[in-house]
Amino acid sequence: MATDILDVIRTKRDGGRLSDEQVWFFVHGYADGTVADEQAAALCMAILLRGMEPDELASWTQAMIDSGERIDLSSVPRPTVDKHSTGGVGDKVSLPLVPMVAACGAAVPQLSGRGLGHTGGTLDKLDAIPGWQATLSNDQMVAQLRDVGAVICAASETLCPADRKLYALRDVTATVDAIPLIASSIMCKKIAEGTGALVLDVKIGSGAFLPEIERARQLAETMVSLGRDYGVRTVALITDMEAPLGRACGNGLEVAEAVEVLRGGGPPDLVEVTLTLAREMLALAGIDADPAATLTDGRASAVWDTMIRAQGGDPDAPLAVARVTHQVPAPAAGYLRRLDARAVGEAVWRLGAGRSRKEDPVSPTAGATCLRKPGDAVDAGEPVLVLHVDDTARLDGALAALDGAIEVGPEPPDPRPLIVDRIA
C-alpha cells in the first residue's frame, strides 16, 4: 500500500499509471483529510495533462463510489433508468423527460445538481415552484420511486463524498475539464445511485461545457465504457447547444416551458431532444412504449403533478415573475444567423439566475426569453430577446454579455442537426 502522497503525484506527473493501491490511498486519504488540498490539486493537474488508462480510471471511479453509501433500488418494482446532461443554456429537458419516461412504466431516479456559471442547474429551476424540496433521504427517494416512479432530488451527503470534495477543488484549480475526472465524477454518482440503465446527453456548441465535438465524443465514449464496466446499460447522445434549447432561459421561466411541453406544446427543438432521449431510455429499460403519447393523453403531466406534490411543491401555484422586462432588438433586417448560447447563458447569469460560487443565492424570476431562433426572419429593431430581472442594476452587465451575440444576415444559416451522434 502506497503511503507517500508525493510518490502518487510523481507517478502521474511523469506519465505513469497509478496502481490500484495508489488510487485508493489518494481517494480515501483526500476524503478523510490526510491528503492536503494542494497535494490533491497537484494530482488533478497531472491527470489533466497526462490522462488515465481505462483500467486506472475504473479503479478511480470505484474508489469514489466506495468512499460513501450506495443506494439499493432492488425494492423498486419497475426497471430503473436515468439520464444525465453535461449542461447547457435553456436545457430544462429533465423536467418533462422524467415524468414522461415514468408515465411509460420505468422508474427514474434522477439525482441532479445546481448551476454554476453560465449553465443552469435542474434543482435551481425546481426551486422556483412554491414549497418544493430538493433534499430527500435515500429511504425517501426509494419510497417515492416505488410510489410515483419519478424523483428529481439532490444527492445525499453520503453519496460519493470524495467526489463532492474533489469537484469543489477542481472548480478552483482549473482542472474541471480533465476528461477522466469529468467522466468519473458523473459516473460514480450514477453507479452509486443504483440505476440499471443510463442515457447521457453530451452537449457541443458555444453553450456547452466542451464545445468541440472531438472532446465531447471522447467524454461520451469514456462514460459509456465506464457504464459498461459496471453493468449499467449506457448510451450517449451528442446534441447541439450552439443556440439556447427552447425559448426560456432562467429558472422559473424554464419550469413554465417544461409544463408547456408536458401539456402537449412547447418549442419544437426542446420537444425533439426530450422525445429522442425518452426513446433511448425506454429502449434501455426494455419498455415498448411511445413517449409522445404521454404528452397528448395527459399521463406525463399527471406524473409531474404527483412528483412535485410528493416533494412538498404545489404544481398549481403561480410562478413568480420578474418586476422588469427589457427587449433586445435585432441590429438589422434579414435572417437571424446566430444566437450565441454562451452569451445568452452569461447574460442570464448576470441577471441573477446563476451563481459564481456554490453558496450564492439565485433568482427564480431572472432570465431571458428567445422570441426568435436562428433561421427566423427578423426586422431591424424587432425584439429578439426579452430579459427578465428584478434588480435593474444588473441589466448593464447582461447587455454587455450579449454584445455581438445576435448576428443577422441576408441568408438563413445552414440548419444544424439537434442530434449529432449516438455512442453505445
Of residues 170, 203, 217, 299, which has the active-site annotation? 170
User: Is residue 344's pLDDT more than 80?
Assistant: yes
Digit-coded pLDDT (tens) for 17-31: 999 999 999 999 999
Of residues 12, 59, 82, 156, which has the active-site annotation? 82
Residues of the chain with CATH 3.90.1170.30: 324-409
- Tell me if residue 85 is catalytic: yes
Digit-coded pLDDT (tens) for 188-226: 999 999 999 999 999 999 999 899 999 999 999 999 999
- Tell me if residue 203 is catalytic: no
- Tell me if residue 83 is catalytic: yes
pTM recorded for the entire structure: 0.95
User: Is residue 1's pLDDT more than 80?
Assistant: no
| Residue 64's pLDDT band (cuts 50, 70, 90) | very high
Residues 5-51, CATH architecture: Up-down Bundle (1.20)
Q: Measured at the alpha carbon of residue 389, what is the angle toward residues 341 and 256, in degrees to the nearest 5?
A: 70
Q: What CATH number does the domain located at 324-409 have? A: 3.90.1170.30
Cβ atoms 109, 101 nearer than 8 A? no
Residue percentage of the chain with pLDDT more than 90: 91
Of residues 59, 61, 67, 85, which has the active-site annotation? 85
Can you give the pLDDT at residue 16?
A: 96
Mean pLDDT for 247-274 is 98
The single-letter code of the amino acid at 230 is Y
Digit-coded pLDDT (tens) for 122-148: 999 999 999 999 999 999 999 999 999
* CA nearest neighbour of 423 among 278, 276, 266, 223: 223
Of residues 114, 165, 190, 217, which has the active-site annotation? 190
Digit-coded pLDDT (tens) for 12-62: 999 999 999 999 999 999 999 999 999 999 999 999 999 999 999 999 999
| Residue 330's pLDDT band (cuts 50, 70, 90) | very high
Residues of the chain with CATH 1.20.970.10: 5-51
Digit-coded pLDDT (tens) for 180-193: 999 999 999 999 99
Instruction: Give the CA distances from residue 369 to residues 247, 324, 335, 403, in Å, rounded to whole numbers and listed in that order.
Output: 5, 13, 18, 17
Can you give the pLDDT at residue 120?
A: 76
- Tell me if residue 323 is catalytic: no
Mean pLDDT for 259-264 is 98
Can you give the pLDDT at residue 116?
A: 67
Can you give the pLDDT at residue 35?
A: 95
Cβ atoms 250, 354 nearer than 8 A? no
Of residues 67, 80, 119, 122, which has the active-site annotation? 122
Of residues 11, 12, 61, 83, which has the active-site annotation? 83
Beta strands in 165-216 (DSSP E): 197-204
Domain 81-310 annotated CATH 3.40.1030.10? yes
Contacts of 113 (CB under 8 A, 6+ apart): 121, 122, 123, 154, 155
User: Is residue 3's pLDDT more than 80?
Assistant: no
Rounded-to-integer distance, Cα 424 and Cα 422, Å: 7
Can you give the pLDDT at residue 355?
A: 78
Q: Across all residues in the chain, what is the average pLDDT? A: 95
User: Is residue 2's pLDDT more than 50?
Assistant: no
Residues of the chain with CATH 3.40.1030.10: 81-310
Can you give the pLDDT at residue 117?
A: 67
- Tell me if residue 185 is catalytic: yes
